[in-house]
Amino acid sequence: MTTFILRRLLQTLVVIVILSYVCFGLMTLMPGDPVEMMISANPKISTEDIVRLREFYGLDQPVYKRYLTWVSDITSGDLGYSRTYRIPVTEMMGPSLRATFILSVTSLVFSLLVAIPLGIACALKPNSKLDYTINLFNFAGISLPSFWLGIVLIIIFAVKLGWLPAGGYQTTGMSYPSWWNEVLDKGKYLILPVVSLSIQSIGRFSRFVRSSMLESLRNDFIRTARAKGMSARVVIWRHAFRNALIPLVTIIAISFSSIFSGALITETLFAYPGVGRLIYSSIMGNDFNVAMISFVISVSMVLIMNLVADILYGVVDPRISYK
Amino acid sequence: MNPVVDVKDLETTFFLKSGPFRAVNRISYSINQAETLGIVGESGCGKSVTSFSLMRLIDRPGKVTHGQALLNGKDLFKLSEPEIESVRGGQMAMIFQEPMTALNPVLTIGFQMNEQIEKHLKLTKKDAKDRAIEMLQLVGIPSAAERYDNYSHQLSGGMRQRAMIAMALSCNPQFLIADEPTTALDVTIQAQILELFQNLQEKLKMSVQFITHDLGVISEVSDKVLVMYAGQMCETGPTQEVLTSPRHPYTAALIESRPQMGHRIDRLKTIEGSVPAPHELPVGCPFSNRCSRVKSECWTIKPAFVNITPTRKIACFNPL
Ligand SMILES: Nc1ncnc2c1ncn2[C@@H]1O[C@H](COP(=O)(O)OP(=O)(O)OP(=O)(O)O)[C@@H](O)[C@H]1O
Ligand SMILES: [Mg+2]
């Protein structure tokens, strides 16, 4: 088991290095390096100065050398400065990452809480009216683009009804007497982004739950469990769902990365200060250091969740052993 | 003495798109304490459906449409869902045809035994575990305490069937249904399991409904036998009598079509044709289209199931 995890971690690391190198290369192709921005800010700058500045920033070096410098910097904990905000990247990343993480995890939990009962209800009465109705909504959920849904939600609940804030993270100037007030206030800002981010995964998950539950319920051991006198609840959850979970776990873990990347888009829509908005604004503002780190973190997240999927697979299925 | 199990006019229908299909058609039998009833018949004649009906495990589109099944005088079909749950696995247990798939692959053998024992015997976790290990030992599983923590994929087919038997017997059932418990196993294992079965039954004084299509097995384990054809009863009586002097042509055909020890024959006798599809069932006797002794009334009138001796019954106009 440990060697399996170590081997997979190593693979993951290699993929991150390759991808970040590619990304680094692409970034250098973007028009506008720091020196060019200085030139545009101060057109009177002399040619010698430009050469000196380029040397100073290492921009005269080939890409792979600059990449190596960058890697050795970040591995020693120096993430550089944001060019736009003039503060260390570490200070910006922390809160953004946390915000994105909260958004994605809430959305994942919410999707599962909704999708699992829906999927099971369908599987218990396949081809019933209930099944068809839920299926219809699932398809609608899967096919609606989440940014479009986000806009509709904002129009209805924020603009027309005024029940929920249209965007942001917390009420500005609000002070929190207790943690509970904080949760309540911030929760209000989470509702619309979470819903618009979750609709797709609800559709996807509940279809997966339905088919894997149907499969599971057809097994002989379900009849055995019933013949032992187990109640319907025990048969459904302990015997059927426990088995349906095996294929689900992988799908859920992999979906987390797609929720995470979905969150990046949703954030820009709801002006939610997470990594997504950071990436967007850093790329728009040519903020190289911020963009690179955000990118590396997003990629790592996807890869790590895949690893988690593999590990969980072994946990839920005793027939699999990692040797 | 009242029989432990008393089934009267059991009828189970599947309401299919093509129309209702009567898989079990008015079957009656009773089993006394410590007695074994063997049910035989070709594949598809309704043996399993009969058993599932008693266990109340028939799901839509199937339904028990007529009859009663008394277990110690209580009608199983009249019990509420929680009531039948407390009977299933407790007073009445069942062993299934397929040991390979009948156990849950993601739960340990011990866990699966425990949940049943805790429910029916109301034991604590600790006592339930002791009981489970004791049962595993009883069915001859070596190093039972270790097997307790195993998953089903870690056991061989024979071991799994033993574990299933241990599970079924764990709550002292008075009535045990064994649906072809040895069909999926190889011959030596089959013999071991059958022997185990007989020993346990003697020890525990259970009433057993033993289903098989192997007449050899029937003659070994059962006191009396019920021969079924297309969901209906053909013949019933004490096993030795029925097997040595069958009266119903179908029973006779079944006996003739099985290989005899020590006789070398070029070709086994087979029964012409096959079990008719439900919509092709003859109006009269269901066996009439394959019967060698068919008479004119067989085609139009259904023979009643009547006593020919105090212990034997058949449904035939032209018995042997
Ligand atoms: N769920 C179901 N839906 C429709 N028909 C069914 C269903 N279950 C059983 N049947 C039908 O009922 C009839 C009796 O089936 P059953 O399983 O009792 O046969 P069996 O005697 O146990 O055969 P075998 O020896 O192969 O186990 C068969 O014709 C079968 O097709
Ligand atoms: Mg069967």
Go through the domains of chain A in sequence order and give each one's CATH number: 31-78 (no CATH), 95-316 (1.10.3720.10)
Backbone angles phi, psi at A320, to 5 degrees: -100, 130
Mean pLDDT in residue range B6-15: 94
CB contact under 8 A, B101 and A319: no
- DSSP alpha helix (H) spans, chain A: 2-29, 34-41, 47-57, 63-75, 89-124, 129-143, 146-153, 179-217, 220-227, 232-234, 242-270, 275-284, 288-316
Lowest mean pLDDT: which of A8-22, A186-200, A284-298, B119-133? A284-298
Mean pLDDT in residue range B243-268: 78
Q: Is B231 exposed, middle or buried (0-12, 13-18, 19+ CB in 10 A)?
A: buried
d(CA A260, CA A197): 9
CA angle A65, A69, A74 (to 5 degrees): 145
pLDDT of residue A66: 84
Tell me: the pLDDT tens digits for A105-135? 999 999 999 999 999 999 999 889 999 999 9
What six digits make up the tokens of A51?
């050469």
Residue B259 — very low, low, confident or very high, per pLDDT cuts 50/70/90? low
d(CA B182, CA B196): 12
Neighbours of A91 (CB within 10 A): 12
Is any atom of ligand 1 closer than 6 Å to the C-beta of B228? Answer: no
Task: Please check whether residue A239 touches B, CB under 8 A.
Answer: yes
Residue B264 — very low, low, confident or very high, per pLDDT cuts 50/70/90? low
B8: helix, strand or coil: strand
CB contact under 8 A, B85 and A231: yes
Task: Please check whether residue A219 touches B, CB under 8 A.
Answer: yes
Q: Percent of chain B at pLDDT above 90?
A: 54
d(CA B60, CA B67): 18
Mean pLDDT in residue range B309-314: 92
B142: helix, strand or coil: coil
- Residues paired with residue B235 on neighbouring β-strands, in sequence order: B227, B314
d(CA B285, CA B101): 37
d(CA A279, CA A298): 10
Tell me: the pLDDT tens digits for B202-217? 888 899 999 988 888 8
Give the strand pairing for B92-95 and B312-314: unpaired
Is A73 within 8 Å of A66 (Cβ atoms)?
no
Please state, rounded to an integer, the average pLDDT across all residues of chain B. 88
- Give me the residue label for tokens 């060697």: A3
Atom number in ligand 1 closest to CA B47: 21
CA angle A263, A186, A194 (to 5 degrees): 30
pLDDT of residue B173: 92
Q: What radius of gyration do chain B's Cα atoms show?
A: 20
The secondary structure element, H or E, covering residue B29 is strand B19-31
What six digits make up the tokens of A3?
């060697």
On the question of pLDDT at B266 being above 90, the answer is no
Mean pLDDT in residue range A140-159: 87
Task: Please check whether residue B172 touches A, CB under 8 A.
Answer: no
Q: Percent of chain A at pLDDT above 70?
A: 99
Q: Whose CA is nearest to atom 30 of ligand 1?
A: B44
Lowest mean pLDDT: which of A309-318, B54-63, B117-126? A309-318
Is A201 within 8 Å of A305 (Cβ atoms)?
no
Lowest mean pLDDT: which of A200-209, A214-223, A238-247, A255-264? A255-264
Q: Is A264 exposed, middle or buried (0-12, 13-18, 19+ CB in 10 A)?
A: buried
Backbone angles phi, psi at A264, to 5 degrees: -60, -40
Closest of A105, A202, A201, A195 to residue A150, by C-alpha:
A195
Predicted complex ipTM: 0.88
**Nearest ligand to the C-alpha of residue B57?**
1
Residue B22 has what DSSP assignment?
Answer: E
On the question of pLDDT at A228 being above 80, the answer is yes
What six digits make up the tokens of A215?
């499969």
- Residues paired with residue B309 on neighbouring β-strands, in sequence order: B312
pLDDT of residue B48: 92
Residue A8 — very low, low, confident or very high, per pLDDT cuts 50/70/90? confident
* From B42, B49, B213, B217, mutation site for ligand 1 pocket: most ligand atoms within 8 A of C-beta: B49
Backbone angles phi, psi at B65, to 5 degrees: -100, -10
